[in-house]
Structure 1
Amino acid sequence: MDSQRSLLVIALAFVSLLLWQAWQADHAPKPATPAVTETSQAQNNSAELQLGNTSSSAQPTSAPAVAQQVKVRTDVLELVIDTKGGDIVDLKLPAFTLALGNPDPYQLMRKLNGFEYVAQSGLLADGPDDKRNSGRPVYSVAETNYQLAAGQNELVVPLTYLHNGLEVEKRYVFTAGKYDVRVEYSLKNTSDQTKLVQPYQHLVQTIEGGKTSSMMMPIYRGAAYSTSEKRYEKYDFEEMQETNLLSPTKGGWVAMLEHYFVAAWIPQKDADNQLYSLVSNGNGVIGARGPEVTIPAGESVTLTSVFYAGPKDQDHLANLADGLDLTVDYGFLWFISQPLFALLTLIQSLVTNWGVAIIIITLLIKGLMFPLTKVQYESQAKMRNLKPKMDEIQARYKDDRQKLGPAMMELYRKEKVNPMGGCLPMLIQMPIFLALYWVFVESVELRQAPFALWIQDLSVQDPYYVLPVLYGISMFVMQKLTPMTVTDPMQQKIMMWMPVMFSVFFLWFPSGLVLYWVVSNLISLAQMLYIYRGMEKKGLYSRA
């Protein structure tokens, strides 16, 4: 096998990998989940009440109230809380515009036009959310508009409800500059009986009607969770439809993922929680249920959880909960992607331009790989010197394929040339290429990050396809400098068309990745010319 054939094999392997990943998303066998016990099924059925699927004839002990919409605005969040249940039914991220040229804030959560994506929480057992009681409580609020003032560090939004002698205050505590919100239940038992409550938190999203992905941009939309045994596990809507998730754990978290953004519930870390999922009326639900808490007569207790809705900021997510940073899913090459992203971030902090940072990291990678590159090009140069002899052998055995192969191998042995010598650097560079691919696809830092001129978003394809064309040209020039040693006519035609094939292939790639590959090819061309010139001076190579 020669270097051209190796390049073809690697290219086809890469395409096959993407196709395999796309197939896996739709057809791969799903991991087994625990069987649903009768008790657990009953607990999951109680969660359906929060979706509006179960009615109850029981009446609340507090005066009837009309549900209202409470608008809350901080420097990084704009959201709406429905006083029925105290649910978050709308959430925007003002720091992230919907798209280039569209100044509207990115809407992560909403409840409109047949699509629902909301965050719910409540109290079961003797709590006001249990199906044996009044269903979802309608909280009272002092105001319907809250805003974090300039210079203010914390904003508290209290919602109150009285239920059978249980005073409930549900508080949302917002902090300046943060996407994580502390959700507290302050409970006081004013009755003469012991009360038992069980907190739950879950995310609800309509399965159909969400954003789709393509082979080149495999955007995952679905759920994920973490337990004490599994730091990160995807649990997509198809799995939800097949079987309910039931997983006891210490701590843990549940989340819904949407490309660059994530919404997550993080229950109490020291509690014995149970993670669950269900599907109801076309909605997928994933949540966490805490242990039952006893509140003696006259006593008070406060229950706390954390809700996060925002960008997949790896450092911040890692500090919030173990494994939450893995929602930035770099795939099986995460151990390469993570240090590459850290290096890229460090460089960007110095040059303040992600495109320039990509160019610099490319220079560093190519510089580190130069010793292997030198071996590769020297091997290719020796192969080029052998081309007359190879042509002679090919002409001699053109009608006898069985003799052609051994004759070529004998020539390589006699001339002490390894036809595989050019493969190793490409094999090493391919994982780096794949790892960077996932960095550019998954890292929210590159979303709408400008480079220069027409490249104003490195996370999407080049709008004018200039970079893919430049890549094809650079690949064509490199091909001309590399000896064509394949003998099969079909392979020769494929190799000849590879620059065009790759240019078309890269049309849909993130422009940041194509920028990396264009710069990489230009550096390779410079290294190739430098190495060949040195070999010419030593009489080891001739371009003739």
Structure 2
Amino acid sequence: MDSQRTILVIALLVLSFFMYQQWLIKDATRTPGIDPTSAPQQVEDRDPSVPGGDLDVPVAEGTRDASVPAVDESSVIAGDTITVVTDTQRIEISLRGGDIIRAELLNHAETLGEDARYTILFNRPGEVHVAQSGLIGPDGLDNRSERPLFSVDQREFALQGETLTVPLYYTDEDGSVIVKTFTFNRGDYAVKVGYRIENNGENARTVAFYGQLKQTMLNGGRGSMFMPTYRGAAYSSDSNRYRKYSFGDIRDRNLNQTTPAGWVAMLEHYFVTAWVPDQNVTNRLYSNSNAQNEAMIGFIGPQMTVAPGSTLELTSVLYTGPKDQARLRELAQHLNLTVDYGFLWWLAQPIYWLLAFLHSFVHNWGLAIILVTVVVKSVLYPLTKAQYVSMAKMRKIAPRMKEMRERFGDDRHKMSQAMMKMYQEEKVNPLGGCLPMLLQLPIFLALYWVLLESPEIRHADFMLWITDLSSRDPYFILPLLMGASMYLMQRLQPTPVTDPMQAKILQYMPVVFTVFFLFFPAGLVLYWLVSNLISIAQMTYIYRQIDKKEQAKKKA
């Protein structure tokens, strides 16, 4: 197999890969690393102890009234909310239930170059994505006909120091005081959500902490063939370290799984919203959908009892922000896997580490990509040298190969025997030029997923007209330069191709690749362009060294 045929094979593999990715996005249960046959063992039919019918609030075991009507979130008016501003987020909290109904990420623009901030949580007509939480169980507040209406000391809160605590107060009929607190830390997208229950009644109170994410199930958000993205739910348990649970899964059946620790999340491109319950207890993970085409995934903590005159504190963590792998790993085991690198995660993770390490020195993601390319090409140089030496030898014996084809005609058996004999005499390995190219394919695909999934690359500026390495080149300059470099490589490494159809296909391969790369992230095209330029330099140097050796032999 010569280098030109290898390029054709790689093109077909790349196209097959993107078609395969689209298939995975449409069927999230077939994500690599997930056993689709295990699904029936992990979920059950509808259960009365998890949300059912039109209920949006989960029902815990032992609840006295399981026929609680759904709460109409649209009845909450502007005056029923408070605003919290930190250095990373602007959050609105509904006093009815204490849900977070809006979250803007202040360090992330909705669209590059515009002032509007990225809104990850929202409650607008026809579309909702909110983070709900509360107390359920025999004496819970949220299983009643109306969720609790909290009171506050002020309507606006702003982070001044390193930590900000926002308390919401509610006094029950028996005199018990429930304080729901939200604790924010500077530079962090994780919010600690806690309940303090002071039982001033005559009877013990049994409650359970629940947290859920509710989102409208829209059909969009999958991206394109070359930029596939997943929007939907995911969870982690002791039997599934990371499992996508699509909106289709939620429509079909309820998740109902008990697990130590665990977490639930809603995923979107570059961002994640996740509830992380107490990791030291056993929690129940569930999902549900309602008549408004809204999906819910959440957790229910263990039921806890607080005696009269005693106090109980329950806490969980809500993360709403970019997929920061280091921070997600700190919050819960396997939460960092929401940065989904696909089946090449084992290669993508070290590439991401190298990219971030180099960025810490150059402070420019485009330059970091160039340096990663230099490192990759340097590591592969011994194989690259063997590749070009093999190509040079193939060029040398090209006239003899042409003569053999003319001599043996259609007798492929004799032709094959003669060529193998010639390879042995000339010490030529016809496969020697394939390995370096094939090794670059998984590196290319792994880097593709790093650029697609890593939020650091989103809206990352390089230089000149490239202001976002995560999106395509707006003027298509990089893809055209990449195509030109690929054409030049073909001219520098001519190989004997006698089949007219194959020769025609190979002739148009730079054009085909250029069309592909028109839709790729600019960072990925930058990597391939720099890789081609380095290959051209290496090729020129190696061929010159070979020519010098040949001339020296002739003189000797």
- Superposition TM-score, scaled by structure 2 size: 0.91
- For the 8 Å contact 2:102–2:121, the answer to whether it is kept is yes
Q: 1:250 aligns with which of 256, 260, 278?
A: 260
State the match for 2:234 in structure 1: 224
Alignment of 1:380-391 (within 5 A): 380-391=391-402
Q: Deviations over 1:211-258 (max 9, x none)?
A: 331111111111111112322211111111121111211111111111
Separation (CA, whole Å) in 2 of partners of 1:398 and 1:496: 25
Structure 2 residue 90 is the aligned partner of structure 1 residue 78: yes
Separation (CA, whole Å) in 1 of partners of 2:58 and 2:466: 44
Structure 2 residue 275 is the aligned partner of structure 1 residue 268: no
Separation (CA, whole Å) in 1 of partners of 2:417 and 2:476: 45
Separation (CA, whole Å) in 2 of partners of 1:57 and 1:5: 66
Q: Which moved more, 1:519-528 or 1:358-367?
A: 358-367
State the match for 1:138 in structure 2: 149
- For the 8 Å contact 2:138–2:206, the answer to whether it is kept is yes
Structure 2 residue 102 is the aligned partner of structure 1 residue 90: yes
Q: Deviations over 1:20-48 (max 9, x none)?
A: 12112224664513476689433333992
- For the 8 Å contact 1:115–1:209, the answer to whether it is kept is no
What is the DSSP-based 3-state SS (H/G/I as helix, E as strand, rest coil) of the residue aligned with 2:346?
helix
Separation (CA, whole Å) in 2 of partners of 1:143 and 1:55: 35
Structure 2 residue 111 is the aligned partner of structure 1 residue 104: no
Tell me the number of residue pairs that the alignment of Structure 1 and Structure 2 aligns: 533
Q: 1:35 to 1:345 in 2, by over 3 A?
A: closer
Which residue identity lines up with residue 448 of structure 1 in the other structure?
H
Separation (CA, whole Å) in 1 of partners of 2:413 and 2:264: 61
- For the 8 Å contact 1:34–1:247, the answer to whether it is kept is no
- For the 8 Å contact 1:67–1:84, the answer to whether it is kept is no
Alignment of 1:465-480 (within 5 A): 465-480=476-491
Q: Which moved more, 1:24-33 or 1:230-239?
A: 24-33
Alignment of 1:30-45 (within 5 A): 30-31=36-37, 32-34=39-41, 40-45=47-52
Q: 1:541 to 1:353 in 2, by over 3 A?
A: farther
Separation (CA, whole Å) in 2 of partners of 1:325 and 1:193: 43
Q: 2:181 aligns with which of 157, 171, 176?
A: 171
Which residue identity lines up with residue 164 of structure 2 in the other structure?
L
Q: 1:528 to 1:268 in 2, by over 3 A?
A: same
Separation (CA, whole Å) in 1 of partners of 2:427 and 2:266: 58
State the match for 1:395 in structure 2: 406
Structure 2 residue 425 is the aligned partner of structure 1 residue 414: yes
Q: 2:448 aligns with which of 426, 434, 437?
A: 437
Separation (CA, whole Å) in 2 of partners of 1:46 and 1:189: 32
Which residue identity lines up with residue 198 of structure 2 in the other structure?
K
Separation (CA, whole Å) in 1 of partners of 2:101 and 2:552: 70
Alignment of 1:273-284 (within 5 A): 273-281=283-291, 282-284=293-295
Separation (CA, whole Å) in 2 of partners of 1:36 and 1:224: 13
1:433 CA displacement? 1.0
Q: Deviations over 1:406-443 (max 9, x none)?
A: 44334323332111011111122211111111111111
What is the DSSP-based 3-state SS (H/G/I as helix, E as strand, rest coil) of the residue aligned with 2:133?
strand
Q: 1:58 to 1:464 in 2, by over 3 A?
A: closer
- For the 8 Å contact 2:212–2:297, the answer to whether it is kept is yes
What is the DSSP-based 3-state SS (H/G/I as helix, E as strand, rest coil) of the residue aligned with 1:306?
strand
Structure 2 residue 181 is the aligned partner of structure 1 residue 153: no
Which residue identity lines up with residue 202 of structure 2 in the other structure?
D
Q: Which moved more, 1:478-487 or 1:458-467?
A: 478-487
What is the DSSP-based 3-state SS (H/G/I as helix, E as strand, rest coil) of the residue aligned with 1:505?
helix
Separation (CA, whole Å) in 2 of partners of 1:499 and 1:39: 55
- For the 8 Å contact 1:70–1:81, the answer to whether it is kept is yes
Give 5+ residue unaligned stretches, structure 2. Answer: 31-35, 60-65, 72-76
1:471 CA displacement? 0.7
Which residue identity lines up with residue 491 of structure 1 in the other structure?
Q
Q: 1:57 to 1:453 in 2, by over 3 A?
A: closer
Separation (CA, whole Å) in 2 of partners of 1:228 and 1:305: 19
What is the DSSP-based 3-state SS (H/G/I as helix, E as strand, rest coil) of the residue aligned with 2:394?
helix
Q: Which moved more, 1:122-131 or 1:301-310?
A: 122-131
- For the 8 Å contact 2:476–2:518, the answer to whether it is kept is yes
Q: 1:418 to 1:459 in 2, by over 3 A?
A: same
Separation (CA, whole Å) in 2 of partners of 1:276 and 1:12: 42
State the match for 1:62 in structure 2: none
Which residue identity lines up with residue 22 of structure 2 in the other structure?
A
Which residue identity lines up with residue 403 of structure 2 in the other structure?
E
1:489 CA displacement? 2.1
- For the 8 Å contact 2:46–2:253, the answer to whether it is kept is no
1:395 CA displacement? 2.8
Which residue identity lines up with residue 113 of structure 1 in the other structure?
P
Separation (CA, whole Å) in 2 of partners of 1:85 and 1:373: 63
1:75 CA displacement? 0.9
- For the 8 Å contact 1:153–1:175, the answer to whether it is kept is yes
Q: Which moved more, 1:485-494 or 1:369-378?
A: 485-494
- For the 8 Å contact 1:34–1:246, the answer to whether it is kept is no
1:313 CA displacement? 0.9
Q: 1:377 to 1:298 in 2, by over 3 A?
A: same
What is the DSSP-based 3-state SS (H/G/I as helix, E as strand, rest coil) of the residue aligned with 2:550?
coil
State the match for 1:423 in structure 2: 434
Which residue identity lines up with residue 335 of structure 2 in the other structure?
L
RMSD across aligned positions (CA): 2.4
Separation (CA, whole Å) in 1 of partners of 2:263 and 2:551: 63
Which residue identity lines up with residue 341 of structure 2 in the other structure?
Y
- For the 8 Å contact 1:49–1:135, the answer to whether it is kept is no
What is the DSSP-based 3-state SS (H/G/I as helix, E as strand, rest coil) of the residue aligned with 1:384?
helix
- For the 8 Å contact 1:86–1:170, the answer to whether it is kept is yes
Q: 1:231 to 1:540 in 2, by over 3 A?
A: farther
What is the DSSP-based 3-state SS (H/G/I as helix, E as strand, rest coil) of the residue aligned with 2:235?
strand
Separation (CA, whole Å) in 2 of partners of 1:196 and 1:47: 25
State the match for 2:362 in structure 1: 351
What is the DSSP-based 3-state SS (H/G/I as helix, E as strand, rest coil) of the residue aligned with 1:72?
strand
What is the DSSP-based 3-state SS (H/G/I as helix, E as strand, rest coil) of the residue aligned with 2:286?
strand
Which residue identity lines up with residue 23 of structure 1 in the other structure?
W
What is the DSSP-based 3-state SS (H/G/I as helix, E as strand, rest coil) of the residue aligned with 2:110?
strand
Q: Deviations over 1:304-333 (max 9, x none)?
A: 000110111111111111111111111111
Q: Which moved more, 1:121-130 or 1:354-363?
A: 121-130
Separation (CA, whole Å) in 1 of partners of 2:168 and 2:19: 50
Q: Deviations over 1:332-362 (max 9, x none)?
A: 1112111111111111111111111111111
What is the DSSP-based 3-state SS (H/G/I as helix, E as strand, rest coil) of the residue aligned with 2:232?
strand
- For the 8 Å contact 1:127–1:196, the answer to whether it is kept is yes
- For the 8 Å contact 2:97–2:142, the answer to whether it is kept is no
State the match for 2:25 in structure 1: 25
- For the 8 Å contact 1:67–1:138, the answer to whether it is kept is no
What is the DSSP-based 3-state SS (H/G/I as helix, E as strand, rest coil) of the residue aligned with 2:254?
coil
- For the 8 Å contact 2:178–2:197, the answer to whether it is kept is yes
Q: 1:430 to 1:464 in 2, by over 3 A?
A: same
- For the 8 Å contact 1:128–1:135, the answer to whether it is kept is no
Q: 1:269 to 1:466 in 2, by over 3 A?
A: same
Q: 1:51 to 1:276 in 2, by over 3 A?
A: closer
Separation (CA, whole Å) in 2 of partners of 1:305 and 1:18: 39
1:196 CA displacement? 0.7
